[in-house]
Amino acid sequence: MESPDGAELCFPQLLNTSCRKPLQDRAEAAFLYVLLSGISSLTVTLNLLVIISISHFRQLHTSTNLLLLSLAVSDFLVGFLLMPVQVHLVGGCWFLGRLICSLYYYASFILTSASVGNMVLISVDRYVAICDPLCYHTKVTQKRVKVSVCLCWAGSLLYNGVILNVFLKNPDTYNSCYGECVVVINFATGAVDVVLTFIGPIAVIVVLYMKVFVVAVSQARAMNSHIAAVTHQASVSVTARKSERKAARTLGIVVVVFLICFCPYFYPSLTGQDMSTSVAFSIFGVWLLYCNSCINPVIYAFFYPWFRKSIKLIVTLQILQHDSCDAHIL
C-alpha cells in the first residue's frame, strides 16, 4: 500500500503512523544485499577460523594468542549478530520490534568497545614483548591477560549500559514513526564517548607502536652492525632495511585501517553534531565500522605462519584426528 504522496509504507495497515520506505532502485538494493551478506559471511568465517585455531591447538595457548582470541570472539559476534541485522535494514524498515532494537544497539556498542579494547591490549602486549623482552614472561602472564580481557568485556558492558541508559529504558524515544529503530547520542555524551572509545585508544595504539617501531629499527641496526663487523657481508644491510620497512608497513596498516573504519562513525561527534544511527548513516558509517571486524583477523592473524598451517588442518579435517590438538603448528 502507498501513502497519499505515493511513497510505500513499511506498515500499510498503519497509514498515519507508519514510516515510508526510502526510494531505492531494486537493482541497487539487491547489489547491497549480496555485498553486505558476503562481508558478513566472510567476517564470521575468518574469525571462526581464528577461534578454532587458538582454542584447539595447545601450542597456540599463549598470552598473546589469548588476546587474539578475545578480539576474534568480539569480531565473530559482530559478523554473526550485528551484520545480519544491518543487511535486514537495506530495505529501510525495522520489522523486529522495540526489544530487539534496544538489544541490537546495546550489543553493537558493547562489541565495538570490546574490539577497540582488545586492540589496545594487543598493542600493550607487543610493546612489552619488543621493548622489554627479558621481563615479558614475568609481566605478561596468562592470568594477568585473562583478568585484563575480563575487565575489558565487563567495562564495555557497564560503560555502554550507562551511555545507552535512556534509550534502553525506552527504545522508541528517538523514533519519528513506526518502523524505525534509531538511537541518538547528544553532544555531551558523544564527546565523552569519542574520547574514551576513539581518541584515547588511537593515541595509546599510535604511541606504543611508534615506540615499538623505534626499538625494532634500533635492534635491526645493531644486529646489522654486529653481523657486518664479523662477516663483512653487505647483504645484511639489505635485510635490515627490509625489516625496517616491514615494521613501518605493519604499523601503517594497523593505524590507517583503524582510522579509516572508525573516523566516519565518530565524525558527527568530532564536528560537534549529535551522533545518529539513522538508516542512511548506517549503510556507510556503521558498515565501515563493522568492516574492521572483517579486517582484524587479516591484520592480526594472517601475518602469523601458524594461522596458515592451522587453516590447512581445519579445512582438510585433520583437526578431527586423535591428538590433533598436539600438532606441531609453530
Q: What global pTM score does this model have?
A: 0.83
Question: Which spans in the chain are helix H?
Answer: 26-56, 63-77, 83-88, 97-131, 136-139, 142-163, 165-169, 187-194, 200-231, 235-270, 279-281, 287-300, 305-315
Per the CB < 8 A criterion, the answer to whether 77 and 44 are in contact is no
Q: Using CA atoms, how far apart are residues 319 and 266, in angstroms rounded to an integer?
A: 42
3 state DSSP class of 184: strand
Burial (CB count <10 Å: 0-12, 13-18, 19+), residue 8: middle
Average pLDDT, the chain: 80
For 97-155, what is each residue's pLDDT tens digit? 888 889 999 999 999 899 889 989 988 888 888 888 888 889 999 999 999 999 999 99
**What's the rounded Cα separation, in Å, for the pair 330 and 309?**
9
Say which CATH architecture domain 26-326 belongs to: Up-down Bundle (1.20)
Question: Residue 275: which H helix or E strand, with range?
Answer: strand 275-276
pLDDT in tens, 160-192: 999 898 888 888 877 888 888 888 877 778 788
> Identity (one letter) of the amino acid at 192?
V
Residue ranges of domains in the chain:
26-326
| β-pair type (184-185, 275-276) | antiparallel
